[in-house]
Structure 1
């Protein structure tokens, strides 16, 4: 699949996002930031934040090329890809699914989104904060599996997900150097039959939340079913990685 969409840099608030401050702007087509990451560099294009992001932490003004994306845009976008329960209700994934729907990128490259938090020292580039991805939540039981799901859904759309971090990370994406993002031309191998089967299992569970407030029906969610789906996404991405590296991929028995 040929994708002529933009190459995106997506910035979160992890401590290592400071490395992105000096990256040349021409390495990326657009820069998408979430929550406090608008403070990392001034030349961002889109800022995504949830409805509970405090007004005092928002940028005081925008230039003519910048825009804000809030729940009225990202909730419908996330629902296009199965909703919050399956996608993972934290801003790194929410931002990515919005970008997939709205911008149709060919590359999404992530920095400051590792979602691995030290027991001591800074948890975010601005100091310490509440690690949202680690909260007790039915959608965040396996952050790595949610990243595998995102990578494969993006691949189905002709988009590569890259991790620009050199640190421990919950993101299972291919690691890459930032200077290679703009010319990146590889996406993971996708076993379409297994991919469609996983999406069908998700759909059959019926965990649709058009308003995004999935917590209101959390008690009705089959946790064991979600865990099996998470394991399926991990296995499917592992198969894709082996195929990309030229390793033999075991055939499934029918």
Structure 2
């Protein structure tokens, strides 16, 4: 397992703060969607299938690769699937990194999912608030972050975020001291209980395209699962 954390960059305005962070601090730098523009030394670009070609990197340097749904969907399926994980790329990238990179920590910057009405929403200006769209998998972003944090902790990985005033992510702030800490294992009974209830509910879509059969899923049952993840994090 790498000793250095993985940096995961989203598109919120504060992502530019990490442009000057030395790459030597990280084992990999994962850029979501447009975030590859923030710094040239990213190692992985991850984006959904509908990400416009004209906004994608034009070429790859040595040590760089693109991560598409053919790779990130199977990785997410190892953790129960994208419907349970939350169908926005910050969470998708997190689970992919857990499966593929097996980091000791993941530091999320520009992924706070806060969209002020009177300010820039993205580092490049104003964009679409993907995590806030009407989507059955995104009804409780805090719970989805708790779920990712607990799955990561179960394999010895800490989830951290940049120091911001507001965030929908429940991760601790990525201070130097936090980067040196070992992730605390989740309460095994609570963690395994929620996973078992997800499995029993059987809302698993192997293709990752859960929206194509969204009417088959109960929002109330998914809300109940979200509540259980928040309780498991508290435990």
Match of 2:132 in 1: 134
Segments of 4+ in structure 1 off by > 3 A? 3-6
SS in 2 for 1:176: coil
Distance between the aligned counterparts of 1:46 and 1:165, measured in 2?
23
The alignment status of 1:84 with 2:97, answered yes or no, reads: no
Normalization by structure 2: what TM-score? 0.96
TM-score, structure 1 as length reference: 0.89
1:174 aligns to what? Answer: 172
Larger CA Rg, structure 1 vs 2: 1
Given candidates 214, 217, 220, the residue that maps to 2:213 is: 217
Indicate the residue corresponding to 1:108 in structure 2: 106
Task: Measure the CA separation in 2 of the matches of 1:86 and 1:6.
Answer: 28
Distance in 2 (alpha carbons) for counterparts of 1:4 and 1:15: 29
Deviation at 1:5, TM superposition (A): 5.6
Residue 95 of structure 2 is matched in structure 1 by 97
In structure 1, how many angstroms separate the alpha carbons of the residues matched to 2:229 and 2:139? 13
Indicate the larger mover: 52-61 or 21-30. 21-30
Q: Is the 8 A contact 2:83 2:208 kept in 1?
A: no
Q: How does 1:65-84 map to 2 (within 5 A)?
A: 65-84=63-82
SS at match of 1:140: coil
- Provide the secondary structure at the position in 2 that maps to 1:174: coil
Could you tell me which runs of 5 or more consecutive residues in structure 2 were left unpaired when the two chains were aligned: none
Is the partner of 2:137 in helix, strand or coil? helix
Paired position in structure 2 for 1:60: 58
Q: CA RMSD in A?
A: 1.3
Structure 1 position 4, deviation (Å): 4.3
The counterpart of 2:225, out of the listed 223, 229, 253, is 229
Give the CA deviation at 1:220. Answer: 1.5
CA distances 1:34-59 after superposition (whole Å, capped 9, x unpaired): 10000000011001011100000011
Deviations 1:86-115 (A, max 9, x none): 100000000011111111111001000000
Conservation of the 8 A alpha-carbon contact between 1:88 and 1:94:
yes
Match of 2:18 in 1: 20
Tell me what 1:191 maps to: 187
Q: Does 1:163 align with 2:161?
A: yes
Count of aligned pairs? 235
Aligned partner of 2:121 in structure 1 is 123
